Structure 1
Amino acid sequence: MSTYKSFAVVGGGKLGMPIVKALVAQNVAVVLLSRSGLDAAKAESLPASVKVATVDTADAAAIAAVFEEYKVEVVISTITTAAIGAQTVLVDAAKSAGVKLFAPSEFGMSTEGDVNNPKNKIIEYIKTVGIPYARFFNGMITEFLPMLIGIKEHGKIVLVGKGDAPVSFTSMSDITGFVAYILTTLPPSELENRTFRLQGDRATMNELGAIFNTEVEHTDKIAGPMGGFITMMLLLTDTGVGSTGWDAEKRAEKSGSEAAGSANALWPGHHWKSIKEALHL
C-alpha cells in the first residue's frame, strides 16, 4: 500500500503551523510556503527537518518551482478566509508541478453544496483543473469558542439568533492530528475526491450554558471591533451549517458515511476531545 511522503503546507498561521508539526511527527518531508517569511519565534519553533520557502503566492510559476524542487505530492492550504479565492493560483501551480492531491483551506463549517460559497467554488475549480482533492469539515474550532460567545468579556454567553441548531465542535489538536494521520496512512484511493466530516463534540449554542455552567443571553447584534464577524458567525450556526453533516442543497443532516463525525472512525483508537476537555472546563 503506497502512501504520500512529501507535503507542502501553505500558510504558517494558527492552523498551518500545527499541521506542519503533526506531519513531521508522521516522519514525512514537509516544506512550508510563506508569502512574507516567518518571524523569529515561529521559525525557531519549527522542527529542524522542515524547509521554509518564501514565495509570492500570486505567482503560479514560482510556486510550481517550489513544489517541483521538493517533489511535493500533497498540498495543504491553510490560507485565511479573506484570501480563499487566491487558491486558484495554488491549484494551477499544483497541476503544473504534478501534485497528486490538493487539500483546500476549508477546516470549518460545511460548505458542500453551497454554490455561492467561495470555498465551494474553489472545489469546483479544482475539479475543472483535474487534481484530486481532500476536503475537511470540522465545524467550529473549539478553542475559538470562548471568543465567539463572549464568555471572557461578559462572564456569560451572549448569542445572536435562536441558538437551537446543532453545531460540531472539534479541537485544534484533533483537527491537525487527524489531517496528518490520514494523509500519511491511507492509500490515495481512499483520499482522493473525499470529504472528511470530523466532530469532537456536538451541542446547540443554547446548550453551551450548561457546559460552561453560566447563563445564556440573546441579543440582536454583537458590538465591538469583531462584532460584525461574530454576529455573522452566530447567525450562520442557526442555519444548520455548523454541523459537519449538513447538506446545503437539501437543508438537512446527512446520514451514514456522510453524517457529522463519520470520518472519526478513520483514526482508530483516538480519543476526541469534548468541549470541556479542550477548554479545561
Structure 2
Amino acid sequence: MSTYKSFAVVGGGKLGMPILNSLGAQNVAVVLLSRSGLDASKALPAGVTVATVDTTDAAAVAAVFEHHKVEVVISTITTAAVGAQTILVDAAKRAGVKLFAPSEFGMTTEGDSKNPKNKIIEYTKAAGVPYARFFNGMITEFLPFLVGFDKDHRKITLVGRGDAAVSFTSIADIAGFVAYVLTTLPPSELANRTFRVQGDRATMNELGPIFKAEVQHTDKIAGPMGEFKTMMLLLTDTGVGSTGWDAEKKAEKSGSEAAGSANALWPGHHWRSIKEVHNL
C-alpha cells in the first residue's frame, strides 16, 4: 500500500505549526512555505525545512513544490485570506501535486455556495486537483475566549439560543489526525473526501455545567472582537457547528457522514474532551 511521503504546509500559525510538527513525527519530508521566513523562536522537528516564497506568485510557489517533490499541500491560512488559495491550487496543478487540503479546519461549510471556502473547493475541482477536506467544528482551546469565560465569577456569555449541538476538537487532535490519515491511508481513500472529526459534543448552553458557570444571554458581545464573537455564536444556532451538519437539508447527516465519523480512522486514539483540554 503506497502512501504520501512529501508534504508542504502553508501557514505557520496556531494550527499550521502543530500540523507541521505532527507530520515531522511521521518520518516524512515536510516544507513550510512562508512569506517572511520563520520566527527564530519556533523550533522545527528534524526533516522539516522552510521555504521563503511570495505566496501570491503561482510560478514561484510551483517552483518550491517541484524542488521539494511535494505530493500533498496543506493550507492553514487565515479565514480572511482563504480566497487567495486559488494561487496555491494553480501552483499545485502546475507542479503535479497529488492532493490539496484547503484551509477548512472549523465549522461545516459544505453545501454553502456563498461561503468562500466552498468556492475554493469548486475551484480545486475545476482545476482537476484532488482535495481532502477536514471539518472539526470549533477548536476547543478557543472556547473561553469565545464565550467570555469569567473564571472568578463563574459566568459565560452567549448570543442566540445556544441549543444546537456543536462539535469541539482540540488542536492536538486536529493536527494529529491530519498527519495520521495523510501518511497512512492510500491516496484512493484520501482524494475528494471530507473528514468529519469530533473530540467532544455539546450545545453552547451545556457549556455552563461543563465550566461550572452561570450562562447569561445577550443580544451582542461588546468589547474587542465583539462582532466576531457575536457572529460565531449566532452561527452555532444554525447547526453548522456540528461536523455532521447538512446545510441543504438543515439536518444532521448519518452513517459515514455523521459528526465524528472520521474518528474511527485513527484507531486507539483518545480524543480529548472539553473538560480535559481546560482541566475542568
1:39 and 2:39 matched: yes
Contact 2:28-2:47 within 8 A present in 1 as well = no
1:5 and 2:5 matched: yes
Which aligned runs of 4 or more in structure 1 are off by greater than 6 angstroms? none
TM-score (norm 1): 0.98
1:256 and 2:224 matched: no
Contact 2:104-2:117 within 8 A present in 1 as well = yes
Question: Residues of 2 paired with 1:184 and 1:39: CA distance?
Answer: 27
1:68 and 2:66 matched: yes
Q: Which runs of 5+ in 1 are unaligned?
A: none
Counterpart in 1 of 2:108? 110
Deviations 1:212-237 (A, max 9, x none): 11100000000112100000000000
Counterpart in 2 of 1:159? 158
Counterpart in 1 of 2:177? 178
Question: Residues of 1 paired with 2:186 and 2:85: CA distance?
Answer: 25
Letter in 1 for 2:106: G
Question: Residues of 1 paired with 2:215 and 2:224: CA distance?
Answer: 22
Question: Residues of 2 paired with 1:155 and 1:147: CA distance?
Answer: 14
Q: Supply the RMSD in Å over aligned alpha carbons.
A: 0.8
SS in 2 for 1:257: helix
1:193-212 matches, cutoff 5 A: 193-212=192-211
Structure with the larger helix share: 1
Contact 2:25-2:45 within 8 A present in 1 as well = no
Counterpart in 2 of 1:93? 91
Letter in 2 for 1:21: N
Letter in 2 for 1:144: F
Question: Residues of 2 paired with 1:262 and 1:117: CA distance?
Answer: 23
Aligned-residue offset at 1:49:
1.9
SS in 1 for 2:74: strand
- Choose the corresponding residue for 2:147, options 146, 149, 153: 149
Letter in 1 for 2:96: G
Question: Residues of 1 paired with 2:9 and 2:279: CA distance?
Answer: 29
Aligned-residue offset at 1:155:
3.8
1:118-157 matches, cutoff 5 A: 118-152=116-150, 155-157=154-156
The range that moved more, 29-38 or 159-168, is 29-38
Q: Percent identity?
A: 83
Counterpart in 2 of 1:273? 272
Aligned-residue offset at 1:152:
3.7
Aligned-residue offset at 1:79:
0.3
How many residues are aligned here?
A: 279
TM-score (norm 2): 0.98
1:54 and 2:52 matched: yes
Contact 2:154-2:212 within 8 A present in 1 as well = no
